[in-house]
């Protein structure tokens, strides 16, 4: 069956080549999410999964008449209300609203992946590519800065170029931002810390700030419907102290064990829901252009 | 069709649980390689590939009557002569010979993956697991030291355990060895440098030496039969200078561009064929227990 998601996905991918911050890309993001939600609403049912994650319920969508499960969805953060999503999103796109509406970001980030699982199960790449473009769009449109994909610097007298996820350079007066983006941190997340270490070493420790953005850490056993969160807090502690310092870490669905890690080591980790960052309309600008410290005694 | 490789592979995997350095595992390694070679010799043909790698020819094995290609083989390093392999290997196992015979290591490291591609194409994991066990065996049997998989150390007062590929601890008088092992360095090799950085930071820079062992960097386009080597020398330079120092890097088939990198930066990189390391019977012991520097003036 030809997927109704294929064309809007390709249009989004194509549009991203013209720039990550432009309004045309905002429209493509919304199109793809709404197309995905229409499909989920009309052709699928939600079934509850066997969540082993304390305090969280997860559901899968299933095509009517079939049994294959989509990736897990935290319905608390998920909305099928296309009008609500359209209004909230367009308000932000127009520079009027923030992105703090409870379900807006999670739904936009998640809907396509869920629907894609049911049309095209083997294809993990398209949902991951969509997610990268979506997050880059959030940061590019909020800051007005187009990200680069390559860091260029000399090593031992040789000019090298390293491909990273996204790099934002607000010019002399701001902090540079290194933005690694991952669907989950399994396997490859150490790359984020290693790249940040390279940036710290090549440009000086205070030049680049790192914000790691991850969708979630859920893992679904397709046969049993069991959902767990895969977390490696020991690794994160070692990377954060011994490899490089990630200034902030944002999730679309914060894993319980990383929330606990941030609570245990508040001076080392800031791990929050991404809506916390974007619910302040100028949160990103304040991050990139921090106010100078007040003189002592005032 | 039931694979004749399945049983000897499982026996090897099971045996490795009893220790990486034991003679029983040497026998399992040889069994699996010989079974694979018998199959390649009698049921397959070698076809030349369209090598885009300067100065190197690559071949695939193909099951007679079919067209699907195995992974690329550098026939210069590959031998179908079971008697030669058995004799050379058993001589090393018995503590008499070295591993410097030109084709011994490459053939043992490669035969199972090639044959497995033709029986069980989708299964990339078994050849990678075999390769890890094989390399661990080389180092464990040569040194008489059993490797650990976890590094334990405190971070901010908390005891953490990080899973790494292999860690050899020769005790107080020797250098500790961190041995990352990869089939190819694509995607995940930065983990090797990041782990080494953690070890340097947690234990002190001179405590652990890193030896990265990689099979090869060839990539075959199955449809066209074109072979290329995927190398990222800029990344390696940045990792080696800014993340951690890998003392030595060994390949079973050294990629041309990394050989060139080592030539351009001889003080930074040592990148050689692994037979160079093992052709000295006590090469590993000399590495782990280096002679103290001679006093000045002698």
pLDDT in tens, B188-237: 889 999 999 999 999 987 889 999 999 999 999 988 999 999 999 999 99
User: For all residues of chain A together, what is the average pLDDT?
Assistant: 94
- Residue A34 CA to residue A81 CA, distance in Å, equals 9
Which percentage of chain B shows pLDDT scores above 90? 84
Cβ contacts (< 8 Å) between B155 and chain A: which residues?
A: 234, 237-238, 241-242
pLDDT at A297: 60
Its sign, for the CA torsion A71, A180, B196, A237, is negative
Q: Is the pLDDT of residue B1 over 70?
A: no
What pairs with residue B47 in β-bridges? B60
Cβ contacts (< 8 Å) between B235 and chain A: which residues?
A: 160, 162
In total, the C-beta contacts within 8 angstroms joining chain A to chain B are: 84
Contact A120, A3 (CB under 8 A): yes
Interface confidence, given as ipTM, is 0.90
Q: How far is CA A60 from CA A70, A108, A126, A220, B57, in A?
A: 5, 16, 19, 9, 50
- Residue B276 CA to residue B254 CA, distance in Å, equals 11
- Res. B123 pLDDT band, cuts 50 70 90: confident
- Residue A290 CA to residue A130 CA, distance in Å, equals 30
- Res. A121 pLDDT band, cuts 50 70 90: confident
> Which residue in chain A is spatially nearest to B201 when comparing CA positions?
A242
Buried/exposed A171-192: b ≥16 CB within 10 Å, e otherwise: eeebbbbbbbbbbbbeeebbbb
Q: Which residues contact A2 (CB under 8 A, 6 or more apart)?
A: none
Chain B residues in contact with chain A using a Cβ-Cβ cutoff of 8 Å: 153, 155-156, 158, 160-162, 187-188, 190-191, 193-195, 197-198, 201-202, 234-235, 237-239, 241-243, 265, 268
Cβ contacts (< 8 Å) between A155 and chain B: which residues?
A: 234, 237-238, 241-242
Token output for A42: 């009309």
Mean pLDDT, rounded, for A260-270: 97
Q: Is the pLDDT of residue B297 over 70?
A: no
Of A153, A197, A241, the CB nearest to B243: A197
- Res. A186 pLDDT band, cuts 50 70 90: confident
What pairs with residue B155 in β-bridges? B158
pLDDT at A253: 97
pLDDT at A160: 96
> Which residue in chain B is spatially nearest to A203 when comparing CA positions?
B242
Residue that has been written with the tokens 């914000």 in this structure: A211
- Residue B244 CA to residue B197 CA, distance in Å, equals 5
Q: How far is CA B16 from CA A155, A231, B10, B105, B137, in A?
A: 41, 28, 10, 19, 9
CB–CB contact B242 A198 (8 Å): yes
pLDDT at A124: 87
SS (H, E, C) chain B: CCCCCHHHHHHHHHHHCCCCCCHHHHHHHHHHHHHHHHHHHHHEEEEECEECCCCCCCEEEEECCCCCCCCCECHHHCCCCHHHHHHHHHHHHCCCCCCCCCCHHHHHHHHHHHHHHHHCCCCCHHHHHHHHHHHHHHHHHHHCCCCEEEEEEEECCEEEEEEEEEEECCCCCCCEEECCEECCCCCCCHHHHHHHHHHHHHHCCCCEEEEEEECCCEEEECCCCEEEECCCHHHHHHHHHHCCCCCEEEECCCCHHHHHHHHHCCCCCCEEEHHHHHCCCCHHHHHHCCCCCCCCCC
Element spanning A108, H or E: helix A104-119
Name the DSSP class of A293: P
Convert the pLDDT of each residue in B18-57 to its tens digit: 999 999 999 999 999 999 999 999 999 999 999 999 999 9
Residue B214, φ and ψ in degrees, nearest 5: -130, 145
pLDDT at B2: 66
> Which residue in chain B is spatially nearest to A233 when comparing CA positions?
B160
Of A160, A193, A243, the CB nearest to B237: A160
Chain A residues in contact with chain B using a Cβ-Cβ cutoff of 8 Å: 153, 155-156, 158, 160-162, 187-188, 190-191, 193-195, 197-198, 201-202, 234-235, 237-239, 241-243, 265, 268
Question: How many CB atoms are located within 10 Å of the residue B212 CB?
Answer: 23
Mean pLDDT, rounded, for A111-115: 97
> Which residue in chain B is spatially nearest to A200 when comparing CA positions?
B242
Q: Is the pLDDT of residue A298 over 60?
A: no
SS (H, E, C) A151-172: EEEEECCEEEEEEEEEEECCCC
- Collapse the DSSP code of A37 into the 3-class scheme (helix H, G, I; strand E, B; otherwise coil) and give the result: helix
B123/chain A closest Cα distance in angstroms: 16
Residue in B222, B182, B186 with CA at minimum distance from that of residue B71:
B222
CB–CB contact A243 B243 (8 Å): yes
């Amino acid at each position: 069956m030809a997927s109704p998601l294929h064309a809007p996905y390709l249009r989004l991918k194509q549009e991203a080549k013209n720039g990550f911050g432009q309004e045309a890309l905002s429209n493509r993001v919304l199109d793809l999410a709404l197309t995905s939600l229409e499909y989920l609403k009309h052709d699928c049912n939600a079934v509850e999964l066997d969540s082993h994650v304390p305090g969280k319920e997860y559901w899968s969508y299933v095509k009517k008449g079939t049994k294959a499960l989509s990736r897990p969805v935290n319905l608390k953060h998920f909305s099928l209300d296309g009008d609500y999503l359209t209004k909230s999103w367009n308000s932000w796109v127009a520079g009027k609203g923030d992105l703090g509406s409870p379900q807006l970001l999670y739904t936009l980030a998640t809907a396509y992946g869920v629907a894609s699982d049911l049309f095209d199960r083997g294809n993990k790449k398209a949902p991951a590519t969509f997610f990268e473009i979506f997050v880059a769009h959030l940061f590019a449109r909020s800051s007005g800065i187009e990200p680069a994909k390559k860091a260029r610097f000399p090593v031992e007298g040789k000019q090298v170029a390293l491909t990273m996820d996204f790099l934002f350079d607000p010019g002399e007066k701001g902090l540079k931002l290194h933005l690694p983006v991952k669907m989950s941190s399994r396997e490859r997340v150490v790359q984020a810390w290693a790249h940040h270490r390279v940036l710290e070493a090549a440009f000086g420790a205070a030049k680049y700030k790192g914000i790691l953005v991850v969708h979630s850490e859920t893992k679904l056993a397709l046969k049993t419907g069991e959902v767990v969160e895969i977390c490696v807090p020991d690794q994160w502690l070692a990377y954060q102290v011994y490899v490089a310092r990630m200034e902030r870490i944002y999730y679309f669905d914060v894993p319980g064990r990383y929330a606990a890690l941030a609570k245990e080591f508040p001076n080392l980790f800031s791990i929050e829901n991404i809506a916390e960052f974007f619910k302040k309309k100028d949160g990103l600008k304040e991050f990139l252009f921090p106010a100078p410290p007040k003189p002592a005694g005032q």
